[in-house]
Amino acid sequence: MDRLRFSPIAAGLPATVPFTGPETLERRRGAPFIARLGANENGFGPSPRAVAAMAQAAAEQWKYADPDSHDLRHALAAHHGVDPAQIMLGEGVDGLLGLLVRLTVAPGDVVVTSEGAYPTFNFHVAGFGGQLVKVPYRDDAEDPQALLQAAARHGARLVYLANPDNPMGSWHPGSTITAMLDDLPPGALLVLDEAYAEFAPAEAIPQIDPADPRVIRFRTFSKAYGMAGARIGYAIGPAPLIAGFDRIRNHFGINRVGQIGALAALADQDWLHQTREKVATARDRIAGIARDNGLTALPSATNFVAVDCGGDGDFARRVLAALADLGIFVRMPGVAPLDRCIRVSCGPEPELAAFATALPQALALARTA
Q: What is the pLDDT of residue 55?
A: 98
Shared domain for 40 and 187, answered yes or no, is: no
Q: What is the pLDDT of residue 19?
A: 86
Strand 158-162 versus strand 131-135 pairing type: unpaired
Q: Is residue 2 part of a domain?
A: no
Residue 5 pLDDT level (bands cut at 50, 70, 90): confident
Shared domain for 52 and 169, answered yes or no, is: yes
User: Averaged over 52-65, what is the pLDDT?
Assistant: 97
Three-state secondary structure along the chain? CCCCCCCHHHHCCCCCCCCCCHHHHHHHHCCCCCEECCCCCCCCCCCHHHHHHHHHHHCCCCCCCCCCCHHHHHHHHHHHCCCHHHEEEECHHHHHHHHHHHHHCCCCCEEEEECCCCHHHHHHHHHCCCEEEEECCECCECCHHHHHHHHHHHCCCEEEEECCCCCCCCCCCHHHHHHHHHHCCCCCEEEEECCCHHHCCHHHCCCCCCCCCCEEEEEECCCCCCCHHHCCEEEECCHHHHHHHHHCCCCCCCCHHHHHHHHHHHHCHHHHHHHHHHHHHHHHHHHHHHHHCCCEECCCCCCEEEEECCCCHHHHHHHHHHHHHCCEECECCCCCCHHHEEEEECCCHHHHHHHHHHHHHHHHHHHHC
Picking from 217, 245, 267, the residue at the C-terminal end of a domain is 267
Q: What is the pLDDT of residue 4?
A: 81
Shared domain for 183 and 60, answered yes or no, is: yes
* Amino acid at position 59, single letter: A
Determine contact, residues 267/77, Cβ cutoff 8 Å. no
Q: What is the pLDDT of residue 93?
A: 97
Shared domain for 179 and 277, answered yes or no, is: no
Q: What is the pLDDT of residue 97?
A: 98
Q: Is residue 12 part of a domain?
A: no
Q: What is the pLDDT of residue 3?
A: 78
| Domain boundaries, position 96 | 48-267
CATH of the domain at 327: 3.90.1150.10
Shared domain for 138 and 39, answered yes or no, is: no
Q: Is residue 39 part of a domain?
A: yes
Mean of pLDDT over the chain = 97
Q: What is the pLDDT of residue 1?
A: 47
Shared domain for 87 and 181, answered yes or no, is: yes
Share of the chain above pLDDT 70, in %: 99
Q: Is residue 4 part of a domain?
A: no
User: How many domains is the chain built from?
Assistant: 2
Picking from 246, 267, 288, the residue at the C-terminal end of a domain is 267
Q: What is the pLDDT of residue 15?
A: 86
pLDDT surpasses 90 at 16 = no
Q: What is the pLDDT of residues 283-296, one digit of tens each?
A: 999 999 999 999 99
* Better-scored residue on pLDDT, 120 or 1: 120
Picking from 267, 299, 331, the residue at the C-terminal end of a domain is 267
Shared domain for 234 and 297, answered yes or no, is: no
CA-to-CA distance for 226 and 230, rounded, in angstroms?
9
CA-to-CA distance for 367 and 357, rounded, in angstroms?
17
Determine contact, residues 237/86, Cβ cutoff 8 Å. yes
Shared domain for 137 and 232, answered yes or no, is: yes
CATH of the domain at 127: 3.40.640.10
Shared domain for 206 and 301, answered yes or no, is: no
User: Averaged over 130-159, what is the pLDDT?
Assistant: 98
Shared domain for 263 and 276, answered yes or no, is: no
User: Averaged over 91-97, what is the pLDDT?
Assistant: 97
Residue 17 pLDDT level (bands cut at 50, 70, 90): confident
Q: What is the pLDDT of residue 18?
A: 83
Shared domain for 276 and 263, answered yes or no, is: no
Determine contact, residues 222/304, Cβ cutoff 8 Å. no
Q: What is the pLDDT of residues 234-281, one digit of tens each?
A: 999 999 999 999 999 999 999 999 999 999 999 999 999 999 999 999
